Structure 1
Amino acid sequence: MTSDGDDVRLIGGRYQLGNRLGRGGMGTVWRAYDQMLEREVAAKELNVASDDHEYHRRLRRALREARTVARVHHPHVVGVHDLVEHDGRLWIVMELIDGPNLARRIADDGPLTPGHTAAIGLQLLGALEAVHAAGALHRDVKPANVLLRRDGSAVLTDFGIAALEDDESLTSTGELLGSIGYMAPERLTAEEAGPPSDLWSLGATLSAVASGVAPFQRSTGAAALHAVTFADPDIPERVGSLRPVVEALLNKSPDQRPSSATVGAALRRLADGVEDPGPLPPAGTPGHFPEPPTDVVATPADVTDSPTLTATPAATAPHTLTGAPAPTAPHTRTGSPTLGGTPALDREPTVIDQTAGSPPPRPRGRGRARTWWWTAGAALAVAALATGLFFTFGPPSDNDGDAAQPPATSTSKVTVEAARGWQSATSTPVQKGDKVSVRYTSGTWTVDSAHLPLVGPAGHTAADDQSLRFAWQDCKVDSAVTFGALLGRFPGNPDNPHAVHRDWQFQATRAGTLQLRANDREGCLDDNKGAVTVTVQITH
């Protein structure tokens, strides 16, 4: 809108837009002035237009992005102030970080020392721990998504991919979001991604910040993809004492990467000037810090005690940006025209087409290959022996030996959480011919904790389901049943997924694992709450 004839754009009746700060795939960031609170803010105009035929689907994604960031309160995670709809577009009003991003800082002034990099790494690690405790992943940790305040402290930004990547429709298009050189190999090979994937990206970022060169930098996206999947990282000598941390984080196998507690202890020693941080064992190694439980909810005490560049005088002096020119670059995003030349730290394209050729699975090692061939040979030998016995003596007789044993039945109770995707319902695989029964026992859940009540395994009422009609295509796993209905699936069943409701029985036509979930797709689970308990009975 205009005011007194001047070309002044006012958003939400209070945010006066100024100059454009940056532009990315998810939207455009503007400097703005909050007239009510009389402060400068950053207003992110999301690319969600009302005339877009996918408007409702994209609107839901944008809301998830805002909610993801808003519920994380941490000094090194960008703060979200408001969510505004204006002229058919959605705006996220955020804390204004009036400084350059880390990629621009390195491009202008050169790499940081290992100790300074470790101090920045501690801040980013604390931010990631807060994000993970909130049940989200960042998925695009890289120097360009780290902004620097005027005191030199780091702020993790741009959670657009964190909100979008969980949506299964994205992977169906053959596209990958993110910068290839900073993406964990399991994400490129379509394997399960979790907090270790963000830690991998943190390792790549630390190496790039301390050396000026990304560890998997290549001239093309395809070459970078191949390097991340198969090649060893290029870690220059300049990385120095950070090398053990970087090497441990860049392990191709997520299970072999260290826990965040182990990484934090090593980075703290390096930031304090200790040259040898010691070995970094994989997460879960006996005698070392375990990973935090997945059901822990972040509290202010949990997420605000990460070290900052100004927290401890002993650590602050070597790691501040004193002597460097005051940062003047605006609050920018990757691809912003204000960046001038593209820094080498982010040269990889942010979107690639996998239809041109998907990467082959990661090599598993020659030792495993020999084990596989030995196992296959043994299996063939046993099969040959069994075949010979069959044709020589015929099938076993019902009258031979002892009488047939009665069927064996195992019963267990399983809790299915609303905020998770498919969850295994059996500790051991179901065998072919087994009779399986799933019966609701107790518990309630909801797929929209802010607006809809808790319900049982039959899911929400038809009226409540209609209130979420705009999200049916985007978020329902089974479009034929209501949101929140208990679903099950088993390999070989013709009606996967099956609406379990209160009871489900079937006979397995092949071996496999029974899985259960609420009827709400990945990428839509952040506002879910509650759990139901079922009794699973398997008769062998």
Structure 2
Amino acid sequence: MARGELVDGRYRLVGLLGRGGMGEVHEAEDTQLGRRVAVKLLTAVGGMEPGGEELDRFRREARAMARIEHPGVVTLYDSGLHRGVAYLVMQILDGRNLAHLVGSTGPLPVRAACWTAVGMAEALAAMHKAGVMHRDIKPSNVSLARDGRVVLHDFGLARLAGERAITATGVVLGSPQFMAPEAMKGGLADAAADLYGLGACMYFMLTGESPLGPAVDVGAVVERALGTGIPSLAGRASGVPAELAELVDRLCAQDPADRPRGAAEVVEALGTLFVGGQEIVADRLGTLLRDQAVRAARGVRLRKGPEYAWAEAEVPAPRADGSSPAVEAAEAVGVVGDAGAVGIGSTLAPGSGPPTLSDNTRRMVIGSMSRETALSRQREAVNLVQRGELESAARMLAAVVPVCAARLGPEHPTTLTSQYWQAVCLARLDAGREALELLARVNKYVDRRKGAASD
């Protein structure tokens, strides 16, 4: 679906956040309440016709999920059907997912891993109490907020979208690295299967390695999952207390009967090992976000003439229906309305950092952006800064600034204003030195403009 499309007459799509096996996730504006949301379009799920049994069951399950009120479970706001496609409207999350954090920074210290595990287990306990199973516990479905909070998302999709409808489309739910053996065999994915996923995630956090080895050959991974299983953690990761390694091994047991009886038991078993872990997660995540914002601010800056040496490129003309190939190319790489790694359906690989533009796409975006669209993107970014959603703002500004510089000129007010807010964003992400460098450059151009105006 295209940027600007209104889903069900209410949710205006702003930018594509990611694609997965179930469908695609967009950042959107709730036009009634004026807030940012994530809209997940379940494009892989068929059979949901108005008034049909599948749609009725979808709505019942969505209502059950919406009743879950827990800080560790992403909030589901709304659901419905748009042009035959079922959709979910959820809280949008700023930060990084667990896969990205570990992939970028390495194994987590014990306290940080235990803090994350406790957050996951408490969220699972709340979901299981409400009768909702997650059914797809894996690191990319665990979001970490900037303050270190842990939030689960993409929960209950198998049940929500309908096992029969999913099977009919050939969609495979879950990653073999984190999927319980009984689920692989076609058995019931219940609470015990969620606990297995939790244990596999703990193994990943503590070792920095995939639980079942390299995933080059999915068939080999499945064979290991159903054969020898996840290796024992005892003695494998240095510094891991024996009682913690034993808990992970129990969670990863192939027989569900050998796993803990519930998520609450996991929280109790972790005891005080998580104390201080939130601060460690927040610090590590803050450092990662700061470094990526700095690299993005530096890495995509354009030069023309002695200072900005980018040539203009031919840009495909708009189509007859008014759509723009250039804008679509920008959306495809996350440049227009990108909300950062929200963790909901994100396609970013661990350690990949913010998306960057190819030369061709960059030139297309430069050529297609007008003063009005630049101002629109700038306003969106400023609103994000003012709401404290700094990572989203940093990523958007990293895309807007070079386009403004090349399209409008380095001394254009829109370019300078965008750079000013980019500096504010960097400063609030604790990149003070880089923020001062950028402000000095902005002030140089402002002084030059003032001097020219006074002559």
| TM class, shorter-length | 0.5 to 0.7
Match of 2:95 in 1: 99
> Where in structure 1 are there 5+ consecutive unaligned residues?
273-313, 344-540
Contact 1:80 1:93 in 2 (8 A): yes
State the 1:333 CA deviation: 4.6
State the 1:228 CA deviation: 1.3
CA displacement 1:119-166 (0-9 Å, x = unmatched): 011111011111111112111100011112221211111125341587
State the 1:339 CA deviation: 3.9
State the 1:229 CA deviation: 1.5
Match of 1:204 in 2: 200
Tell me the C-alpha RMSD between the 2 structures.
3.2
Match of 1:320 in 2: 282
State the 1:246 CA deviation: 0.6
**Matched pairs, number:** 295
| Partner of residue 109 from structure 2, selected from 106, 113, 136 | 113
| Partner of residue 37 from structure 1, selected from 33, 36, 44 | 33
| Partner of residue 181 from structure 1, selected from 146, 157, 177 | 177
Contact 2:181 2:226 in 1 (8 A): yes
1:217 counterpart = 2:213: yes
| Partner of residue 267 from structure 1, selected from 267, 270, 274 | 270
Match of 2:342 in 1: 331
Q: What amino acid maps onto 1:220 in structure 2?
A: D
| TM-score, structure 1 as length reference | 0.49
CA 1:238–1:70 in structure 2 vs 1: closer, same or farther (change >3 Å)? farther
CA displacement 1:411-437 (0-9 Å, x = unmatched): xxxxxxxxxxxxxxxxxxxxxxxxxxx
CA 1:177–1:317 in structure 2 vs 1: closer, same or farther (change >3 Å)? closer
Match of 1:240 in 2: 240
State the 1:48 CA deviation: 6.6
Larger Rg: 1
| TM-score, structure 2 as length reference | 0.57
Contact 2:180 2:197 in 1 (8 A): yes
Matched ranges for 1:469-488 at <5 A: none
Higher relative contact order (CA 8 A, sep 6+): 2
The separation in 1 between residues aligned to 2:47 and 2:253, in whole angstroms, is 42
The separation in 2 between residues aligned to 1:342 and 1:47, in whole angstroms, is 26
CA 1:83–1:173 in structure 2 vs 1: closer, same or farther (change >3 Å)? closer
The separation in 1 between residues aligned to 2:30 and 2:289, in whole angstroms, is 25
| Partner of residue 82 from structure 1, selected from 78, 85, 93 | 78
The separation in 2 between residues aligned to 1:88 and 1:171, in whole angstroms, is 18
| Partner of residue 227 from structure 1, selected from 224, 229, 232 | 224
State the SS of the aligned residue for 1:271.
Answer: coil
State the SS of the aligned residue for 1:19.
Answer: strand
Contact 2:76 2:89 in 1 (8 A): yes
CA 1:149–1:208 in structure 2 vs 1: closer, same or farther (change >3 Å)? same
Match of 1:513 in 2: none
CA displacement 1:359-381 (0-9 Å, x = unmatched): xxxxxxxxxxxxxxxxxxxxxxx
Give 1 or 2: higher strand fraction.
1
Match of 1:477 in 2: none
Match of 2:145 in 1: 149
1:253 counterpart = 2:215: no
Give 1 or 2: higher helix fraction.
2
Q: Percent identity?
A: 35
